[in-house]
Amino acid sequence: MPHLLGSERYIFDFDEPSGGGRELLGGKGAGLAEMTQMGVPVPAGFTITTDACRAYMSNGKTLTGALDVEIDAHLRALEEKTGKRFGDPDDPLLVSVRSGAAISMPGMMDTILNLGLNDEAAEGLARQTGNPRFARDSYRRLIQMYGEVVEGIPAHRFEDALAESKRKKRVRHDTDLDESDLSTLIDRYKAIFLQETARDFPQDAREQLTRAVRAVFDSWDAPRAQVYRRTYGIADDLGTAVNVVQMVFGNKGDESGTGVAFTRDPSTGEQGLYGEFLANAQGEDVVAGIRTPEPLANMEQRLPGAFTQLLETMRRLERHYRDMQDIEFTVEDNDLYLLQTRSAKRTAAASVKAAVDMVDEGLITRKEAIARIDPAQLDQLLHPMLDPTVKWDVAAKGLNASPGAASGQIVLDADTAERRGKAGESVILVRWETTPDDIHGLIQAAGVLTAHGGMTSHAAVVARGMGKPCVAGCEALSIDEEARTITLAGQTLNEGDTLTIDGGTGSVIVGKVPLVPPQVNDDLETISAARSTCSWRRTVCRSCRT
C-alpha cells in the first residue's frame, strides 16, 4: 500500500480498500476494485481518484509534485505484481489509461491503450512474444490514440493513412495488414505526429503517462462531456478518476479478442445471451464501431473455455450487484480478463421488464423495483412504432440496435442535426459510425443510422440511453460526404431526402411511413399497479409474503 505518510492520498491500488466508493474512485475504478476483491479475473492496476482531478483543476490544471511521487510509488508496486518494468526496452510493462466518472458517461471522456511503448520497446515486445505483427499493431494504435487524445491531432489524419494502407494492400480490415504493412504505417503515423506537433513521438514512457493522465483529467471539461452532463443533469464539479491498468491484449491473434456483454438485453430486458465479440482486436474497436463485431454466441466456438468462464462471471456479477450489468472483457491467449462492469444503460421497456423479473427471481424487493423506474424515462414507452396496417418496402437491413421507429430527413453531420433538430425538424443522423463528438447531434436527431458498428457501439449505447431508435452496422449503406449523398442497396438519396428506420427490426425504408403509438405491455401495467397497490403480477410475490 504505497503512499506518502502525513499527506492526503490520491491513489489506491485495485486490491486495497479505499473507503470512498464510486464518488472517490469513479464507477470504473470502484468496479475494478470490487471485482478484484471478489476474485474475478481483473488486470492489476491503480486508480487516481476524483479528489486528484479536482485538485488538478483547482491548481490551474497542473499535476503537483506530490502526485507525481505517488504515481511513481504505485508504478513500482504494479511492476512488482506483474514482474515487468515500465519503460523496459526488452519486456515492457504496458498500461491503459482510462477515465471513470462517478456517474457513467459512456464514451464522453478519453482512453489511451498500449502506453509505454516506444521504438525500442516495440522491438523488445516483438522478441519477447515471438509475435512481431502484434507488437507493431499495438505500437501504431498507441501513436494514433496518444496523438488524438494528448496532442489533439485530427483523427482523420491517422484514419486516412490506415485506409490508404488497406487500399494499397486491397484488403478490408486492419487485421489483414501484415508485419511489414504495419511497420510502414508506424513510420507514416510518426510523420503525421511530427507534422502536427513539430515534435517526435515521445520515447520516454513516464512522460507518456504524465501527459496521458493530464489529458484524461482535461477531458472532463471537453465540450462533448459538458453537453452530456447538461443533458442528464450531472454536476460539473464531480471530476473523473483515472485508472492505470496493466494491458491485456485482445489483438494477439485468433485465440484472443475483446467484447461487451450484458447480463440481460438492454433493449427489452429479457434474459439471454446478449453482447458482441471481436476476435483479434482491442476494446476500442468494438465501442468505436471500427469493425462490426460478431454476436457473443459465436465466441463459444472460437474460445470455448473463456466463453464458459465469462457466462459464470456474468451470473456472479448480476447476483452481486443485483442489477443488469454492462461488462467489458478481453481474452488474451484464451485467458479471460474483465475490464469494467457497470449498471447497464437500457431502454425504459428494458428497465420495467428487468425490474419485474428481478422481483420474481428474488434478487430485489418490490420497493426497490419501483424505485429503479425513473418516471421521466417511462415517456420512452410512448414513442411511436411503424403502422402495421401500412405496406412498405425495406430498402436495407442493419442491426436492431435501439428499439422504436422514426421518420425524418437525412442529415450527414452532427452540427446539421443539432441545428435542424432545434428548429423543430425531424432528422435522421446518418454516419459511417458515430463518435463521442457527435453527442450534440444525437440529442437532437429523431433516430440514428450507421454503416459500421454493432449492438454495443457508441451510437447504439447512447441511443438506447436516450430512448431513440438506432439501426447500426447497415452494410448496404455507403456515404459520400463530399457529394452529400448516401446509397442504400444501390439507390442514391440526397441529404434532405426522407428515411424511416425501425430500431426494433433493423429495417431502413426510403420515404415516410406512418407511425402509431405502441401498446402498453403487461410489465408497464404491473409497475403502474405496484405504485398504487400492493399487487405484483396479480399474484403475491415473494417480497410481499410476510
356-385 residue pLDDT tens: 999 999 999 988 988 887 766 665 566 678
448-458 residue pLDDT tens: 999 988 888 88
Whole-number Å distance between alpha carbons of 340 and 40 = 11
Burial-class residue 82 by CB neighbours within 10 Å (0-12, 13-18, 19+).
middle
170-205 residue pLDDT tens: 998 888 999 999 999 999 999 999 999 999 999 999
34-54 residue pLDDT tens: 999 999 999 999 999 999 999
425-444 residue pLDDT tens: 999 999 998 888 899 999 99
The x, y and z cell numbers of residue 311, run together, are 457466462
Confidence category of residue 541, pLDDT binned at 50, 70, 90? very low
Question: Is 20:81 a contact under the CB 8 Å cutoff?
Answer: no
* Sequence-separated (6 or more) residues with CB below 8 Å from residue 66: 4, 7, 10
Whole-Å CA distances, 420 to 428, 445, 479: 10, 9, 20
Beta strands in 254-334 (DSSP E): 257-264, 271-279, 294-295, 325-332
Which structural domains are found in the chain, ordered by start? 1-86+93-101+223-246 (3.30.1490.20), 257-343 (3.30.470.20), 348-382+520-544 (1.10.189), 385-516 (3.50.30.10)
If you average pLDDT over residues 211-218, what whole number do you get?
96
State the amino acid at position 378 in one-letter form. L
Whole-Å CA distances, 145 to 139, 328, 432, 453, 510: 10, 19, 20, 19, 37
Number of alpha carbons in the 13 Å side-chain half-sphere of residue 365:
8
Q: Which of 383, 353, 378 is nearest to 469 (CA)?
A: 383
Q: pTM for this structure?
A: 0.81
76-113 residue pLDDT tens: 999 999 999 999 999 999 999 999 998 888 778 889 99
